[in-house]
Structures are given as C-alpha cells and as structure tokens.
A and B are shown apart, each in its own frame.
Chain A
C-alpha cells in the first residue's frame, strides 16, 4: 500500500472514530450493501470488530464460518465464494489460514475483497489500526522507532506493520530469538535485534506480538519460562528506559508470558484503544471500498 492510500484510510478512520462516542452509534452509509464475513479460521475480536463496523454503517451482514458451511462436504474455496457472489453480495471480508487466500478470491470474484488475515502473510486492518493508534498518540508516524517484539516468522500482524510503517517513514526494529525471525527480512529495511533490553531504550513504541504456544512444541524455543525471562515485557525492563514507551498488543494476550499484567494495564498501554480504533478503522476501509475505491490489500 502506498503512503497516500494509508494516509487516506487513517484520516477517514479518524472521522469515523467520533461516531463511536455518540449515543446512537449508527450511520446509514452502507445501507443496502451486503457484506459477507467469511471466516475460515477461528477469530473472535477481528470478526466482532468487522461485524460491529458493518452494523454501525447499516450494512446487511452474513456471517459464514466453515463449521456451518458446505466446506465439510468438500466444496472448494473458489466454488464457495462464487456461490456466495451469485447471491449478489457487495463485499467479502475473508480470514483464512492459507497465505494468499484473499489474493485468490480477488482473482476470481468481482466483489470487493477485504483481507482479514491470510495465514502468516498479512493482516492489513490490524496494522492500519496500530498505525492509527500510534499517530493518535504522537501526531505522526514519520521518524518514530517502533519495536515489533516476538514471533515475527509466523506473524501476519508483523508483516503488515512492517510494510505499513516503512511506507509511512517509521523505523522498525524487530526483536525475538533468531528461530522466530524469518530469513532475509532485513531486506525490507528493518533492523533485527535479539536483545530486548537493547531495543527498549531506543523505541518509542513496543508492539508486542502474541506468542502461539504451539511454537514451543515445534522446537522453536525451549520453554515458556525462558521466553518470558529473555523477551517478556515487564515493568522492570521498561523502567530501565529514560522515557516512557507506548505499549501495544494486537491480542489476545498471554499475560505473564510475552507481556506482564502490570505493563498491559499501565498508563502507557493503549491496548484497549487499539480495539476501539479497530472498529473506526474498519468502518473507514469498508466505506472507501464501497465508494468504488480500487482494491485495498
């Protein structure tokens, strides 16, 4: 995504944000439009966030999850979405475990496709809401140092943040054990560190990624205990920095593992603001897509 596109989305989201504080949180912007939430992978907050955004815009909503669909009967993804499209819908929000799934749909469908996370590839609306939240606090993204902490290898949130933040002129520092950093990622213009205490003093923001517990089982790190000791973000660690650092987490959190409760609930944490901004941001993206804007990945 280009800088101008991101800026447009963030600006639009800021104007939608105000609607969420009204007593009647509903605008007619998407009246008569039908949005299908196609979630092939379990998701709580992203799906609720999209659903709320759609409801606030008065769209008609269909929720579709594989467990209640014909997927179990062996229907292919392409057939499934072509059937849905034949029902004359306008937009599809898709979450899928395969990287590139949203691209596949965009190739075969005329409807607007919104990627709500495709495997280990991207989660664009999450990165956009993260950028929205940072910009709200600092008034800019340009020149800030953002630390992305944890499992970069399997994180679509990290990839989308890297692409977005780089486009907006921020500095990105990745921090995690080498086993969780993908190869040649430096070529994206990011810095890689394996020492969290060295990163904290240089960062304006720490975006702490969720650690999937099954990564330990597949041998990528020895134990949750050791991970917490070397990469967990705790108050003690943060106190070493001369200035406060903004704390973010895309959720759901493993309290006591990648982030301590004291940090998660501290005055510098904007984790719940991220959630609120997520709705405004998704409203903005839905609005822009419905307005005939070209594909937004």
Chain B
C-alpha cells in the first residue's frame, strides 16, 4: 500500500499503512513532550520505531517526504454528533469518522443525543462495534439522565465501565439544579467530567438567534447571553459545593468565560471548550436569514468573540471542539424559525483555528495544538498520544501555508450545513495516521 492519496472514484476508505514507513523532514510539534524540531519518523506496523535523523539511503520500506509540514500528535474533537443510531441519513459513525480524518482528527467524542440515546451499555457497545477497525478512535459520551430527559440519573458507573469517557445531556440543558448536583456528586466515583449544555431554557424557549441589535433588526426572537451565563454560574457553584468535575460545552459569552476564569482561580474543578465558529463569526452572519448560521449557543457579539479568543489565550478555555452537528439539507432549507440548530465543523476546525488564532498572531502553534490534544485528553482522562519510540503512531500532519477552499465536493460528512462553504483558508490538513491506518485529506 502506497502512502498516497486515494484518487479512486466513489467511496473513500481508510488505507492500511505500509509495513515500514519513513516520514522525512516534518516539523514535529509535540506539546506533551515539549518537542519542537525537524525530524524523521520511522513507523513499523503502526508503531513509532524511531524519531530523529534517519538515513533513507538503503531503507527498504516506503519513504514519504513531508518537509515543510507540521507533525503533531493526533488531534481529538471532544464534541461531535455522529447521529448514529437514529439519523443515519445525516451522518454515520463511518462518515463522521471519515470527515474527522479529512479534517485532521484521529479521535472524536460522540454526544449521546442519538435515537435511542447513549444511556445504556448496549448502545455504547454498538458504537464501539461500529467504530472497530477505524483509523479514528470514537469515544462515546453517555447521557447524564435516562433518555436525556433530565429526570433520573442514567447508570453512570455501568456506562463508564463500558467505555463512556464523560456524561452529558448535550442538546438539552439540565434544568434541574438538584439532578445536576447529584450528577456531579455521583460521577466522582467514576472520575469523569459532567459536560454541561448551558442554557436556561425558560429564557430561550422561543429564541432562534443571539438577542441583540441584529435579532431586533431581523425580527427574530432572541436567545439572551445571560441565559447561558446563569447556568454556567449555577453549575460552577454546584461544583464548588459538592465537588465533581464540571466541563462547559461550547462556551460563547464573555461573562461565561470570566466565570470560568474566576472559578479556576478559586481552585474549582471546571474546564471549558469553545467552537471555531464561536471565535470566527458573530450574529451579523445571520443577516440574510442563513439557516447555516443558526446553532446553539447562537453566534454572539464581536465582544463575545474577543472574549473567547482571550480565554483561549490565557487558558480559561482549555480546548477547541467543533460541536459538529450534521443536519439534512431538507431540514436546513426551511424557514429560519423551523430550521434545526447546528452546523458541521470537523473539516473546517483546523482552517478556522489557524486563521483566527495562529495567522492573526493570537496564539503560537504549540499552544494551539494543545487545545486539540493534551488539554482535551486531560479533561477526559485519556492518555494523550505522543511522538515517541514505542508508541502507536497517532499523528496529525498539516500544512500552514497551502491555500484551499472549503467545497461540498471535498467534504466527507454526509451533511453540508456549514456557513463556511466557499471560504478560503490558508493551511490545511494533509494526512492522519492512527491504528495502523492512514488517510490523506481530500480537502
């Protein structure tokens, strides 16, 4: 098997790695090892055999020149909706994994708002079975409550034993403070984070976009930022009161970021993630009634965008996650107030992060890579991949300069509900390697 792009028409697949592969001349950036140097990597049967200067003369395996490209430990997206089981027309574990690999990820965490919900050992096992033999590691996040109804705790210990790495009722806020308290307390036994979708739903029931000047102009009922802040504040106080680990999903407001920053300073076990769209777009994107600019939390103000970037810079926000939320064309091609919330994100995360954080000099490359690797792994209690002899070759290889356009034809997600279609980017995913497989991005 050649380490080359699969140009055959039709269905894309992960390819087997050649038994011996020498990656020549990549710039290795491994924040876990504080490693930042140009070096060759020898991979044998999917494992890293050597890192350093390796002479290709006389090498009988396959050598690939990746000079000028960045090699980092494989990226993880800790917030993805794979829609399987239930909405396989929108995404499957397979198509979502291909989209992840295409976007530069070797692992994803899938949220439990499937049908049925991920609230039983059987569903976790089903997902693991479906993801077997994949390049992309799929880590299920289980529901906090049975059927995500917010009423009774799911069998959290069982779910974790079966492979859940966190719990969340994502998609729905957990409105009962009592249930949230008990979830935080009970989950301490499993040492997993409770991931909160932070939305005070009595304030957001009729809302379809951020409340502010733009919603006023468009005549669309608003989702106030304070409805998010209130819940973040509540859950931080609960975590302070009863312990447990609280993780804020898709943080989108300045106040929310400040609350997390203050809580961390007080030593409370709280972490947070932000999505690329929340640091790339404001509610101005909704003008024209583009349903691909409709998601939860909604796109907020320029001030909120700046606060998210500041939070990523100073560590108030630990991770970048996409909240990849595929929806069918039919559902998004409706009137604005009837269209569902959410956009796909796996294939634009790298391009947007480079544009908004690296190229604009808000963050250095090492800090940026942390947000996709060691930080989310730490939150989830996963061993972060490292580029070291003896380890599984779990690598994300990308380019900082190549210019490309995000086109539906090059996307491997089954859905294309993205506001970034047609956007141009500088720097793109090149290839991922994991589980003795590789995939060269077709973006």
Q: Please list the residues of chain A having a beta carbon within 8 angstroms of any beta carbon in chain B.
A: 76-78, 96-101, 103-104, 118-122, 156, 159, 182-185, 187-188
Contacts and interface: CB of A to CB of B under 8 A. Distances in A.
Nearest to A218: B206
A184 B219 contact: no
12 contacts: A76-B333, A78-B334, A96-B335, A98-B335, A99-B336, A100-B289, A100-B335, A103-B289, A120-B221, A122-B219, A182-B215, A185-B216
Interface residues of B, number: 20
Contacts of A182: 215-216, 222
Contacts of B337: 97-99, 119
A295 to B, nearest CB: 13
A121 B335 CA distance: 13
B33 to A, nearest CB: 49
B1 interface: no
Q: Which of A77, A100, A156 counts the most B-chain CB atoms under 10 A from its CB?
A: A100
B127 to A, nearest CB: 31
B217 interface: yes
Given A99-B337, A119-B219, 9 more contacts: A76-B330, A78-B333, A98-B335, A98-B338, A121-B219, A156-B219, A182-B216, A183-B216, A185-B216
A183 B335 contact: no
A37 to B, nearest CB: 18
Contacts of A100: 218, 220, 289, 335-336
Contacts of B336: 98-100, 104
B288 interface: yes
A159 B334 CA distance: 23
Interface of B: 211-213, 215-222, 288-289, 330, 333-338
B220 A77 contact: no
Contacts of B333: 76, 78
Q: Which of B212, B220, B336, B338 counts the most A-chain CB atoms under 10 A from its CB?
A: B336
A156 B220 CA distance: 11
Given A98-B335, A99-B337, A184-B212, A104 B219 contact: no
Contacts of B288: 103
A104 B289 contact: yes
A188 B212 contact: no
A76 B216 contact: no
B367 to A, nearest CB: 35
Contacts of B289: 99-100, 103-104
